[in-house]
Amino acid sequence: MAFKHNSECFHSNISTWNIFGIWPKENSIKYYTFLSVVYAILTLITYNVILTINLFYTYNQIEELISEVIFYFNEVTIMSKAYMVIFKRKQIIEVLKILDCEEFKGTDAITTEIIQKDLSTYRTCYKTYNYSCIISFMLRVVVPIFVHLIWGNHLGLPISNYRLLNDEVREKYFVLCYLYQSISMYGHMMYNINVDTFIAGLIFLTITQLKVLKYNLNNLKVNANELRYSKEFQENLQVIKLKQCLAHYDKIILFQSSVQEISSITLFVMFGMASAIICVILCGFYLPSTTDNLIFMVTYLITMSAATFFYSWLGSQLIYESQELVFAAYSCEWIDRCQEFKRSVVILMEHAKIPLVMVGMKMFLLSLDTFITIVKSAFSLVTLIRSFQDEEDGS
Per-residue confidence band for 90, with pLDDT thresholds at 50, 70 and 90: very high
Q: Partners of 153 in the beta sheet?
A: none
For the cut 70, the answer to whether the pLDDT of residue 224 exceeds it is no
- Rounded distance between C-alpha atoms, residue 284 and residue 305, angstroms: 16
> Lowest-pLDDT range, 52-66, 192-206, 317-331?
52-66
pLDDT at 227: 63
pLDDT at 223: 75
* Model pLDDT, residue 180: 98
pLDDT in tens, 150-197: 999 999 999 999 999 999 999 999 999 999 999 999 999 999 999 999
Q: Three-state SS for 23?
A: coil
Q: What is the spatial distance between Cα 370 and Cα 292, in angstroms, rounded to a whole number?
A: 31
pLDDT-based confidence at 140, cuts 50/70/90? very high
303: pLDDT strictly greater than 70: yes
Checking if the pLDDT of 35 tops 70, the result is yes
pLDDT (average), residues 204-218: 97
Helix axes 339-352, 291-331, angle to 10 degrees: 160
Say what the pLDDT of residue 395 is.
57
- Of residues 254 and 224, which shows the higher confidence score? 254
Confidence at residue 62, expressed as pLDDT on a 0 to 100 scale: 78
Greater pLDDT, 282 or 234: 282
The span from the CA of 214 to the CA of 318, in Å, is: 13
Say if residues 141 and 185 touch (Cβ distance below 8 Å). Answer: yes
pLDDT band at 394 (very low <50, low <70, confident <90, very high): low
